[in-house]
Structure 1
Amino acid sequence: MHLGYPPTRIDLLTSISGVSFDECWSNRVLVDVGELSVGFISADDLIRNKRAAGRPQDLVDADTLEAHTD
């Protein structure tokens, strides 16, 4: 599902490869945005997802994320 228009469009995914919903939910990162607390996929889970997807850009993204993750 897409919300908005480029360059500020966001994609909402209902499923992803490499990780389960339960894993992502328990590892989510909560970020306060104004008065809301918004959950985001953790860097580790996103890296696992990108590697499982295996597309060339996803693999580049995974390498970049790993280089910048503590």
Structure 2
Amino acid sequence: MSDKGNVDSEEQERKATAARLRFEKATSEIASEHRFGGSDAGSTEIELMEAATRLVQEARKDRH
């Protein structure tokens, strides 16, 4: 792979890692606010991810 290809790949990997860390932090913060699930707060990880996805989609709609 060329040097440019290596740099592009490394940059893409850094961006993906940063995005994952931001997502994990946001999910954790939202979960700590008990914004997911019902009163028992027994949401599964999939339910948390689905709710987070809905929140992101709603936020994007609000920006446009």
Q: Which TM-score applies when normalising by structure 1?
A: 0.28
Identify, as 1 or 2, the structure richer in helix.
Answer: 2
Identify, as 1 or 2, the structure richer in strand.
Answer: 1
Q: Which TM-score applies when normalising by structure 2?
A: 0.29
User: Rg larger in 1 or in 2?
Assistant: 2
